[in-house]
């Protein structure tokens, strides 16, 4: 049997549809996740659960509250960052601020900064059958390079969340990120 290596196969297919630009500087990603809304909500706001797919740290419970995201990407799947992502081999700390919170259906946070001018990420959750429809909207992306980076990052992180919620060991985060980054690079004008 002539089977392609796993890395090559991963570069040829994407597990989920790409996010889309719904207006300039605004990315929208939709996923149906295999868990009820309350469980998905916990993976957004509980730092211990959130660290399994995105970043640990702390969490604020009210608008205006500042919190910390502690990214430890190697822990997501056990795969070390390739050389061109070497800076992410160490813990990366990011301050963010809760902009809006309506448990368990809506969370908006600043991204990359706690300032009022930072880009913003909104997570909207709604029941869909036995699962949850997640709509992630990232607004105020400054340029194409950041849009490709953020799009790829959200896609890869949400793939890890999907694996975690399915009770599966997440596939290689960095291998997946490289594949989806190429796809976003080709699709974003």
SS3 per-residue string spanning 138-173: EECCCCHHHHHHHHHHHHHHHHHHHHHHHCCCCCCH
What pLDDT sits at residue 114?
86
Residue 123 in 3-state DSSP?
Answer: strand
Report the range of poorest mean pLDDT among 3-12, 22-31, 61-70: 3-12
pTM above threshold 0.85:
yes
- Mean pLDDT of the region 106-124: 94
- Mean pLDDT of the region 137-166: 97
Cα Rg of the chain, angstroms: 16
Asked if pLDDT for residue 8 goes beyond 70, the answer is: no
Average per-residue pLDDT in the chain?
Answer: 92
What pLDDT sits at residue 13?
57
Give residue-wise pLDDT tens across range 19-42: 999 999 999 999 999 999 999 999
């Amino acid at each position: 049997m002539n089977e392609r290596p796993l890395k090559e196969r991963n570069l040829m297919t994407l597990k989920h549809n790409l996010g889309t630009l719904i207006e300039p500087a605004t990315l929208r990603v939709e996923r149906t996740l295999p868990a009820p809304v309350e469980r998905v909500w916990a993976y957004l706001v509980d730092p211990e659960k959130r660290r399994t797919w995105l970043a640990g740290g702390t969490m604020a419970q009210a608008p205006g509250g500042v919190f910390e995201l502690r990214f430890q990407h190697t822990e997501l799947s056990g795969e070390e960052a390739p050389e061109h992502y070497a800076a992410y081999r160490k813990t990366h700390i990011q301050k963010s601020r809760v902009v809006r919170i309506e448990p368990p259906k809506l969370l908006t946070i600043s991204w990359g900064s706690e300032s009022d001018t930072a880009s913003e990420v909104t997570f909207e959750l709604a029941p869909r059958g036995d699962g949850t429809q997640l709509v992630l909207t990232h607004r105020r992306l400054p340029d194409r390079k950041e849009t490709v980076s953020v799009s790829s990052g959200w896609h890869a992180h949400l793939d890890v969340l999907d694996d975690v919620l399915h009770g599966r060991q997440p596939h290689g985060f960095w291998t997946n990120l490289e594949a989806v980054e190429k796809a976003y690079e080709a699709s974003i004008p």
